[in-house]
Amino acid sequence: MNKLIAALTLSFLATSGIAAEENPRQQAIAIVTRIQRADYEGDRAALRKCYEALAPFLDDKELVSRIRYWRGFALWRDAINGFNESNVDPHELEQILMKAVDEFKAALARDPAFVDAKVGIISCLGYVTYVHRKEPERAKELVGQIMPMVEEAKAAAPDNPRLIWVCGPILWYTPVERGGGVDKVMENYERGLEVCAKVKPSTDPLEPSWGKPELFMSLAYTQLTKNPPEIEKAEGNARAALEIVPYWHYARDMLLPQIAQAKAKQAKQSP
């Protein structure tokens, strides 16, 4: 393992309050926990540091598939948070997303049954499709990669909340006559929340168990943007997401203010 990377990882662990003598699994869990918080906080610099901090664990045969997943996750969420910034080059974000795809593919190579790695690939390629939305041939090529993987994942784990979440944007861009549209998007997220209420999440921190707050947030966004908007419902779901993750930068500092603006506009238009 590169000595510089190893040294940087030890430094990261020390500054994060993680004991160097802890076993590799405990160290990896601590970094993964930081990745998830950094994602919600919109801390792209921390996500990049965590991605690098996981590098020394790639030689651990027992952990490698999950290490690859969380490295991919860190890159994926770095890019998603980047889309919320106005001064970021979309093509730079595309490069980050494709690096994430490589990590997710490496996770799948180690564990072909790992559906959550496919979930990551589906979403990353979906965002790349968005970047190329005005280039029909490139967009068509990407969709051709995405849809077979969606079908594979649905066949293997139809009630995976994270799969349900990433299917939302696909339904958003699918014409109504082909089973898509805003109403189908909302039904999708609502089903995901029903699944979350029934399924007990994994107690292993290295196993992906996120999804419920994302479903609440995306349902809120969809309700806000439909015509006419369902503003009260949107606010309720945005606040439900924040009850789970109070420090979620996007939900707290971007989505809720948009909802407040919509409420104010609606109040002015009321007789």
% pLDDT > 90, the chain: 87
Highest mean pLDDT among 2-11, 60-69, 259-268: 60-69
Q: Could you give the count of Cα atoms lying within 13 Å of 50 in the half-sphere of its Cβ?
A: 32
> What pLDDT is stored for residue 86 in this prediction?
87
- pLDDT confidence of residue 132: 97
Asked if residue 250 has pLDDT above 90, the reply is yes
pLDDT of residue 234: 98
The pLDDT of residue 22: 74
Residue 221: predicted pLDDT = 98
Q: For 210-224, how does the pLDDT look when each residue is reduced to its tens digit (9 = 90+)?
A: 999 999 999 999 999
Q: What is the mean pLDDT of residues 245-258?
A: 98
Q: Is the pLDDT of residue 1 over 50?
A: no
Q: How confident is the model at residue 18 (pLDDT cuts 50, 70, 90)?
A: low
The mean pLDDT value for 22-43 works out to: 96
Tens of pLDDT along 93-113? 999 999 999 999 999 999 999
Which distant-in-sequence residues (6+ apart) come within 8 Å of 53 by Cβ?
Answer: 8, 9, 12, 13, 31
Q: What is the residue whose two structure tokens read 């106005």?
A: 86
Tell me, what amino acid is at 49? K
Q: Please name each of the domains of the chain with its CATH number.
A: 158-271 (1.25.40)
**Residue 268: predicted pLDDT:** 85
Q: Where would I find the H helices in the chain?
A: 3-15, 24-41, 44-53, 64-83, 90-110, 115-131, 136-156, 161-172, 182-198, 212-225, 231-244, 249-250, 256-269
- Average pLDDT, whole number, for the chain? 93
pLDDT attached to residue 215: 98
Per-residue pLDDT at 16: 56
